[in-house]
């Protein structure tokens, strides 16, 4: 008889910090090979279409950036929230609020055109996301409500509000009564970075800039120190003279602004109009991205790209292997599971306890 | 470990090269909004795809992508099919319209076919079905069969295609019972079995004794079967899910259209068009009339025959709008543009159209 115990390490392991992605990759390859063999597909060509094929074509790399941009932008903001112990689950709603606020100019004032339209839209998008994130922050600070519930429930409010807007007041009058706004004019479309080779837009550049700025703030400024101290122990933070309430607002505002920016960048750069649904759940997927990147903004860039790759790879595998969308999603789940599970080795070690030492322990 | 990695690398470099395909095969791609196993909308498109493969054999090769969200993802999925060498691509949901147009501009030598939209281009056709013709027949049956005089209608989204169906249903019902009413619940989804089932339960609790739906799953049919009331199937023949429940179903028969268009590409005669076809052309087919007395069955068949021959057009006046204002004068028929952009209810619908 033996038992497996998980024991917390006194200090996090630098060795496993570096090793865990490789352990995860190895386990994913093995599990993937088993999964695809069961499905009757050649595991090597399956893994090839997942991880290699999307990176071998220029257009596909563009698509990777399109898919990764909103995930990175939102996850970077969420890292500030999660590090400071504020559980903002409503980034999806802030994303939508940003998309709506940013679309005011091109939808309501389509004749208003010029180089200044786009910067105003982006600012409005950030303001929209920020304003929407203020609600759960205020409720938490003022009434001590649970921000997980309030921010999550506000997602549905935002979705329904968008639905109402696009069906009703903002509907394209020439659109046969279909629920879509007008197409944005050229001056309201976030341009492609390299228009000759694909549609990756400046949203990705914004995501990188945001990640670097937030990384700098977290690692090099007093503000960042305050976030980490209050996040780990609010009591210790209070002794240091930091205000938890002020920080809650700060964290929600930053993550709301970035989610809002992601929203308007997606609407303006990738879709080109407002529709009843503008996100396939980016705000929720970004929570995974944030933890996959270990709440480090630079790590989040990599995590966002990896997750985007798994979406594209899943789609490529549907065509090249004829596997179903469900199997593609299962494999994506396997990847995430192993990555997050391997990361737990950084903080915990696995101990195999034999019965002998077990009784010895009891005796003592 | 090292050996495995080496083996993987070598194998991967071979796999990238890919197989060489026979040159004359026409590759046809499909984009689906749901899974082919929904037994409704996507199922029928997939049946059409299979008929196409069966009919043209080794002249065609088909691929599909399922559960593709409308929005930024659609453009990538359609482009992926185009890049994978598909020369004819069917995008089978309204929300793919702008993405289809955008990708079509990049691939002028690929032919695109968009279902239920309105934007065409040199290489983009639109095909749409007069589902509402089947709804009219259902309305006639419902009014004959209902004891409470109220039918429940589960809608997906309040877009013209769905509003046409609701209006046509009530107009058919009113020819039998002028006071017939329908209650509407919006599921705000094309495919959400749990929500559709809840909507069906809520409607039955409100006293309707006939259920009809414009959503894609079989959930409502199953609820109706449990509660022992009658229902109509949607998009496919759902008789298996309600052997004593389904009275008929509007079956979307896409196969012949897909075969015709693929043949046109093979012959080089493909041209962009915008078609709106129904019972006459065979796009709308009624599942067998079951679970009803013979006289009702006879009336349904007569109505169907009249619509097929063109003698009866569902949107023929006199028709009043829900607010009481006149829409069509006696004998006046609605034109296709009005039908395709319909966003109002006719009198008798017990619901406020979401604006």
Report all structural domains of chain B as residue ranges with CATH numbers, in order of start: 26-130+254-277 (3.40.50.2300), 131-250+285-350 (3.40.50.2300)
Query: Taking residues A220-236, what's their average pLDDT?
Result: 88
| Domain limits, chain A | 1-41+329-364, 60-300
Predicted pLDDT of residue B71: 82
pLDDT value, residue A236: 85
From CA A103, how far away is CA A82, in angstroms rounded?
Answer: 29
Taking a contact as any Cβ pair under 8 Å apart, which residues of chain A between 42 and 71 contact chain B? 44-45, 47-49, 52-53, 56-57, 59, 63, 66-67
How far, in Å, CA of A33 to CA of A41, rounded? 9
B95: chain A residues, CB-CB within 8 Å: 275
The DSSP 8-state label assigned to residue A267 in this structure reads I
Place of tokens 């915008």: B274
How high is the pLDDT of residue B355?
64
Tally of CB atoms within 10 A around A307: 24
Q: Which two tokens stand for residue A136?
A: 């759960």
List phi, psi (to 5°) of A234. Answer: -70, -25
Q: For B312-338, how does the pLDDT look when each residue is reduced to its tens digit (9 = 90+)?
A: 999 998 999 999 899 999 999 999 989
Contacts of A170 in chain B (CB under 8 A): none
pLDDT given for residue B79 in this prediction: 94
Residue A176 forms contact with B (CB below 8 Å) = yes
Task: Provide the pLDDT confidence category of residue A359 given band limits of 50, 70 and 90.
Answer: low
- Contacts with A, B 9-38, CB within 8 Å: 11-12, 15-16, 35
pLDDT at A10 over 90: no
CA torsion sign for A141, A143, A144, A145 is negative
Min CA distance, A188 vs chain B (Å)?
17
Q: Band of the pLDDT at A358, cuts 50, 70, 90?
A: low
Question: A7 - beta bridge partners?
Answer: A349
Q: Which residues of B touch A279 (CB under 8 A)?
A: 71
Helix (H) or strand (E) holding A306: helix A297-320
Confidence band of A1 (pLDDT split at 50, 70, 90): low
Q: Is B102 exposed, middle or buried (0-12, 13-18, 19+ CB in 10 A)?
A: middle
Q: What percentage of chain A carries pLDDT values higher than 90?
A: 55
Q: Are A261 and A206 in contact (CB under 8 A)?
A: yes
Task: Point out which residues pair with B328 in neighbouring strands.
Answer: B319
Name beta bridge partners: B113.
B90, B125
Non-local CB neighbours of A235 within 8 Å, separated by 6+ positions: none
Q: Does B61 touch chain A (CB under 8 A)?
A: no
pLDDT at residue B37 tops 60: yes
How many contiguous H segments (helices) and E segments (strands) does chain A have? 15, 2
pLDDT at A9: 87
Residue A46's alpha-carbon distances to A38, A184, A326, B13, B18, in angstroms, are 12, 39, 15, 13, 12
Distances (CA, A) of A40 to A27, A151, B10, B184: 20, 43, 21, 46
A240 versus B307: the higher-pLDDT residue is: B307
A122-125, long-range: CB within 8 Å, 24+ apart, which pairs? A122/A206, A122/A261, A122/A264, A122/A265, A124/A264, A125/A98, A125/A99, A125/A101, A125/A260, A125/A261, A125/A263, A125/A264, A125/A265
Q: Between these two residues, B39 and A104, which has the higher pLDDT value?
A: A104
CB contact under 8 A, A319 and B15: no
When mean pLDDT is compared across A153-157, A240-244, B94-98, B236-240, the lowest value belongs to A240-244
Which position has the token pair 């994978």?
B84
List, for residues A16-41, the tens digit of each pLDDT value.
888 888 898 899 889 988 988 998 88
Distances (CA, A) of B328 to A71, B111, B239, B314: 51, 38, 36, 12
Facing residue for A278 by CB, picked from B12, B71, B79: B71
Between the ranges A306-310, A338-342, B92-96, B122-126, where is the mean pLDDT highest? B122-126
Residue B72 and residue A176: Cβ atoms within 8 Å?
A: no
Chain mean pLDDT for chain B: 90
Could you give the dihedral angle defined by the CA atoms of residues A294, A295, A299 and A300, in that order, rounded to the nearest 10 degrees?
Answer: 120
Percent of chain B past pLDDT 90, that is, above it, reads 78
CA–CA distance from B137 to each of A1, B113, B164 (Å)? 71, 29, 13
Q: Do A167 and B67 touch (CB under 8 A)?
A: no
Residues of B whose CB is below 8 A from A316: 80
Start-to-end C-alpha separation, chain A: 20
> Residue B206 pLDDT > 80, yes or no?
yes
CA dist A358 and B11 (Å) reads 48
CB-count burial class (<10 Å; 0-12, 13-18, 19+) for B314: buried
Q: Measure CB to CB from residue A277 to each of B12, B71, B159 and give the nearest one.
A: B71
**In sequence order, which residues have a C-beta less than 8 Å from that of residue A174 and are 6 or more positions away?**
A182
**pLDDT tens track for A251-296:** 999 999 999 999 999 999 999 999 988 998 999 999 999 998 989 9
B184 exposure class (CB count in 10 Å sphere: 0-12, 13-18, 19+): buried
The verdict on a CB contact (< 8 Å) between A270 and B72 is yes
Cα A236 to Cα A220: distance, rounded to the nearest angstrom: 20
Kindly report the average pLDDT of chain A as a whole number: 90
What is the structure's pLDDT at B233?
93
B289-309 CB burial, b ≥16 within 10 A, e <16: bbbbeeebbebbeebbeebbe
pLDDT at A11: 84
Residue A301 has pLDDT above 90, yes or no: yes
- Rounded to the nearest 5 degrees, what angle is found at the Cα of B157, between the Cα atoms of B261 and A102? 100
């Amino acid at each position: 008889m033996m038992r497996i115990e998980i024991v917390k390490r006194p200090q996090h392991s630098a060795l496993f910090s570096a090793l865990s992605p490789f352990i995860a990759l190895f386990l994913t390859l093995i599990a993937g090979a088993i999964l695809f063999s069961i499905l009757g597909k050649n595991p090597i060509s399956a893994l090839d279409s997942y991880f290699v094929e999307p990176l071998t074509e220029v257009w596909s790399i563009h698509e990777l950036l399109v898919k990764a941009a909103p995930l990175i932008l939102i996850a970077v903001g969420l890292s500030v929230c999660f590090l400071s112990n504020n559980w903002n689950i409503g980034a999806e709603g802030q994303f939508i609020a940003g998309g709506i606020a940013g679309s005011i100019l091109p939808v309501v004032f389509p004749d208003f055109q010029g180089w200044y339209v786009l910067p105003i839209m982006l600012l409005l998008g950030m303001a929209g996301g920020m304003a929407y994130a203020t609600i759960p922050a205020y409720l938490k600070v003022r009434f001590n409500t649970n921000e997980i519930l309030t921010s999550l429930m506000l997602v549905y409010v935002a979705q329904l509000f968008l639905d109402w807007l696009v069906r009703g007041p903002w509907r394209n009058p020439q659109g046969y009564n279909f629920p879509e706004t007008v197409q944005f004019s050229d001056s309201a479309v976030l341009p492609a970075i390299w228009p000759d080779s694909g549609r990756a837009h400046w949203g990705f550049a914004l995501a990188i800039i945001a990640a670097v700025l937030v990384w700098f703030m977290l690692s090099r400024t007093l503000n960042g120190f305050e976030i980490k101290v209050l996040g780990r122990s609010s009591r210790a933070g209070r002794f240091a003279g930091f205000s938890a309430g002020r920080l809650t607002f700060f964290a929600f505002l930053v993550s709301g602004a970035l989610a809002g920016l992601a929203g308007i960048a997606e609407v303006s750069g990738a879709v080109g109009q407002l529709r009843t649904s503008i996100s396939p759940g980016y705000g929720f997927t970004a929570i995974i991205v944030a933890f996959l990147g270990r709440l480090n903004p630079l790590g989040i860039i990599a995590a966002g790209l990896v997750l985007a790759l798994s979406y594209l790879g899943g789609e490529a595998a549907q065509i090249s292997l004829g596997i179903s969308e469900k199997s593609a999603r299962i494999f994506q789940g396997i990847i995430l599971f192993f990555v997050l599970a391997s990361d737990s080795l950084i903080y915990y070690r696995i101990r195999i306890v034999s019965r002998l030492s077990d009784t010895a322990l009891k005796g003592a | 470990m090292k050996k495995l990695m080496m083996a993987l690398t070598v194998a991967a470099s071979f796999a990238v090269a890919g197989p060489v395909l026979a040159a004359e095969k026409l590759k046809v791609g499909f984009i689906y909004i749901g899974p082919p196993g929904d037994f409704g909308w996507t199922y029928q498109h997939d049946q059409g795809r299979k008929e196409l493969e069966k009919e043209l054999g080794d002249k065609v090769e088909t691929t599909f992508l399922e559960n593709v969200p409308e929005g930024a993802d659609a453009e990538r999925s359609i482009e992926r099919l185009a890049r994978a060498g598909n020369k004819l691509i069917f995008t089978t949901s309204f929300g793919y319209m702008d993405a289809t147009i955008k990708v079509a501009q990049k691939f002028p030598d690929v032919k695109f076919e968009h279902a239920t939209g309105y934007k065409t281009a040199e290489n983009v056709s639109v095909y749409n079905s007069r589902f509402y013709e089947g709804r009219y027949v259902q309305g006639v049956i419902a009014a004959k069969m209902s004891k409470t005089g109220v039918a429940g209608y589960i809608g997906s989204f309040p877009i013209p295609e769905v509003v046409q169906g609701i209006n046509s249903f009530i107009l058919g019902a009113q020819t039998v019972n002028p006071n017939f009413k329908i209650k509407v619940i919006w599921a705000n989804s094309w495919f959400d079995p749990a929500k559709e089932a809840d909507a069906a339960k809520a409607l039955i609790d409100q006293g309707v004794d006939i259920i009809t739906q414009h959503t894609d799953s079989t959930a409502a049919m199953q609820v109706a079967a449990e509660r022992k009331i009658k229902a109509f199937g949607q998009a496919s023949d759902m008789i298996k899910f309600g052997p004593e429940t389904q009275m008929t179903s509007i079956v979307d028969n896409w196969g012949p259209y897909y075969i015709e268009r693929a043949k046109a590409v093979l012959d080089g005669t493909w041209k962009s068009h915008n078609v709106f076809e129904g019972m006459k052309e065979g796009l709308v087919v009624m599942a067998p009339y079951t679970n009803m007395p013979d006289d009702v069955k006879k009336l349904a068949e007569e109505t169907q025959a009249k619509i097929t021959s063109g003698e009866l057009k569902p949107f023929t006046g006199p028709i009043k709008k829900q607010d009481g204002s006149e829409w069509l004068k006696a004998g006046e028929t609605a034109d296709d543009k009005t039908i395709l952009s319909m966003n109002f209810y006719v009198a008798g619908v017990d619901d406020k159209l979401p604006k």
